[in-house]
Amino acid sequence: MGVQHHKMFIGGEWRDAADAYEIRNPANEELVATVAKGGADDVDAAVAAARAAFRSGCWSGLTGDERRAVMLRIAEGVSENLEELIELEIAANGATVRQAGGFHIGLAAPHMTYFAELAAKHEVERGIATAPYPTISHNILRREPIGVCAGILPWNFPLVLSLWKIGPALAAGNTVVIKTDEKTPLSTLAFARIAHEAGLPAGVLNVITGDGEDVGARLASHPDVGKVAFTGSTAVGREIMRLASQTVKKVSLELGGKGAAVVLDDADLETVADAALFGCCLYSGQMCESITRLIVPDSIHDELVARIVARAATIKLGDPADYDTDLGPVISAEQHERILSYLQIGRDEGATVATGGGVPEGPGFEKGFWVQPTVFTDVTNDMRIAREEIFGPVLTVIRYSGDPAEGVAIANDSIYGLSAAVWSGDYERALEVAAKLEAGTVWVNDVHMVTPELPFGGYKQSGLGRELGPDALNEYSEVKHIHVDLSQRREARAYDMVLSDG
């Protein structure tokens, strides 16, 4: 099969650009596809299409039940096209077949279904009883769609993270413009096709592909965009906020993390060893809510590290399409270089490489961007490898006395606050620690548990607002208060504050 060229999806039509990106397989660097490289003009066209669709009422004018029906058809379409989507995600993202089926793509239909159900449950209008001051009145609260909502996406979970924006935005009656990451637009473009075939009206969902500084920046500052939802690095998140401030857009941000797990001295070591590796190695550590700092009491440190190192040796790197592969490549040459530079920084800072620490060698690894699962010990929380997001399969192990307060203090000593975990055999002790950890999600005796039913987002510089959960549509709606005077008497109103009698 030849290499396919993909266009952008704007106003229900496929639109090409003069330039194109090459999408390469991170496991072997082979060309997978080419994709239109859009520009600011394409943003303007997409926003105009979304605005026209919004104003026409073709979507915003539907009832929640009607929107639910279309969204459920889209979810069915995703399920029907599962094989194609999984293949794209393996080829363009380096997701292993098990991860793509269970997570990257496997979660797309259930998440879309969840948002479809929220569309039907969304309370659009509610009467509020008020005190009869200054005059008797009836009051109505309405939740109305914002208008055109933009989503700017990273490369790590292009489809699921798109749906975390598209799903609630559509459910609340908005229209959407998505900008995918330059490296991973294929599954989101395929989703746009599926949504169109399922009956989503033209202009309601638009997908553009282009550079961040050009297309992303135009979208974040466009006067006709009412909200921008961004997932990506904290540095770009700050820039998005700055750009959006020019027109006072609503902003939600899902940014970086440096997740910490506090292990208490009564934790089950075998489970913690597995969880530590699952926490830092899933999708080669390229997850914002990865657990990358393991905070371990002196009393169990050596035994736990020995178990983690032994377990790490069983992780099989290789062809992501092979069902037996545990770990695939990292996304790009740039990320590869960045991760390797952190491995060197860790050594230079005095940390010890307990396992991994480099690039695997031999057949299958001649091309592509590979990093061994790596565990650093002798790490202190002031080292760069403990403070900065590496975004690779790298775990830092930090010792503490065993006093939970000290473990919590180390965990919270970070600019980030996306995820954290605590491990203990005693739920009371664990919950006391969980309450003190500064993170949007805290797992007790688990990691990586993210579900559409529960809100997800960050404390501190990990973000702003929450995605998912029963209130997800609130981030995509405006609240309007309508006051209806019921007194019908001129003299009962408060006009005499300005207008004297007579």
Which neighbouring-strand residues pair with 423?
Answer: 263
User: Which tokens sit at 285?
Assistant: 């550590």
Q: Which stretch binds ligand NAD (CB under 6 A): 167-175, 212-220, 468-476, 485-493?
A: 212-220
Closest to ligand NAD by CB, 156 vs 377, is 156
- Considering only 113, 156, 188, 374, the residue that binds ligand NAD (CB under 6 A) is 156
What's the CA gap between 431 and 441, in Å, rounded? 13
- Considering only 216, 318, 357, 393, the residue that binds ligand NAD (CB under 6 A) is 216
What's the CA gap between 379 and 259, in Å, rounded? 15
Which neighbouring-strand residues pair with 250?
Answer: 227
Q: Which stretch binds ligand NAD (CB under 6 A): 50-58, 234-242, 347-355, 481-489?
A: 234-242
User: Binding-site residue total for ligand NAD (CB under 6 A)?
Assistant: 29
Instruction: Tell me whether residue 254 is one of the annotated catalytic residues.
Output: yes
List the beta strands (DSSP E) in 287-386.
Answer: 291-297, 352-355, 374-379
Site string for ligand NAD, 12-51 (x = CB under 6 A): ----------------------------------------
List the beta strands (DSSP E) in 321-458.
Answer: 352-355, 374-379, 394-400, 416-417, 419-423, 441-444
Q: Which stretch binds ligand NAD (CB under 6 A): 5-13, 61-69, 229-237, 342-350?
A: 229-237
What's the CA gap between 199 and 206, in Å, rounded? 14
Q: Could you say which residues in the range 401-420 bind ligand NAD, by CB under 6 A?
A: 418
- Considering only 151, 256, 285, 320, the residue that binds ligand NAD (CB under 6 A) is 256
What's the CA gap between 433 and 444, in Å, rounded? 9
Closest to ligand NAD by CB, 59 vs 115, is 115
Q: Choose, from 89, 149, 182, 254, the residue flagged as catalytic.
A: 254
Q: Which stretch binds ligand NAD (CB under 6 A): 88-96, 150-158, 316-324, 441-449?
A: 150-158
- Considering only 44, 87, 224, 239, the residue that binds ligand NAD (CB under 6 A) is 239
- Considering only 147, 154, 373, 407, the residue that binds ligand NAD (CB under 6 A) is 154
Work out how close the CB of 77 gets to ligand NAD at its nearest, in angstroms, rounded to a whole number.
Answer: 25
Instruction: Tell me whether residue 288 is one of the annotated catalytic residues.
Output: yes
Site string for ligand NAD, 444-463 (x = CB under 6 A): --------------x----x
Is 231 a binding residue for ligand NAD by CB under 6 A? The answer is yes
What's the CA gap between 17 and 185, in Å, rounded? 15
- Considering only 53, 118, 149, 236, the residue that binds ligand NAD (CB under 6 A) is 236
Q: Could you say which residues in the range 257-286 bind ligand NAD, by CB under 6 A?
A: 257
What's the CA gap between 104 and 86, in Å, rounded? 8
Nearest to 264 by CA among 406, 466, 438, 144: 406
User: What sign results for the dihedral spanned by CA atoms 344, 25, 292, 267?
Assistant: negative
The phi and psi torsions of 482 (rounded to 5 degrees) equal -110, 120
| Residue 481, SS3 per DSSP | strand
Q: Choose, from 149, 280, 281, 288, the residue flagged as catalytic.
A: 288
Buried b (16+ CB within 10 A) or exposed e, 93-110: bbbbbbbbbebbbbbbbe
- Which residues are CB-neighbours of 497 under 8 A, at least 6 positions away? none
Which neighbouring-strand residues pair with 230?
Answer: 152, 253
- Considering only 23, 88, 153, 282, the residue that binds ligand NAD (CB under 6 A) is 153
Is 485 a binding residue for ligand NAD by CB under 6 A? The answer is no
Q: Which stretch binds ligand NAD (CB under 6 A): 43-51, 75-83, 151-159, 488-496?
A: 151-159
User: Which tokens sit at 49?
Assistant: 């299409």
DSSP designation for 203 = T
Nearest to 469 by CA among 457, 484, 487, 481: 457
Indicate which residues carry an active-site annotation. Answer: 254, 288
Site residues (vs ligand NAD, CB under 6 A)? 152-156, 179, 181-182, 212-213, 216-217, 220, 231-233, 236, 239-240, 254-257, 288, 389, 391, 418, 458, 463
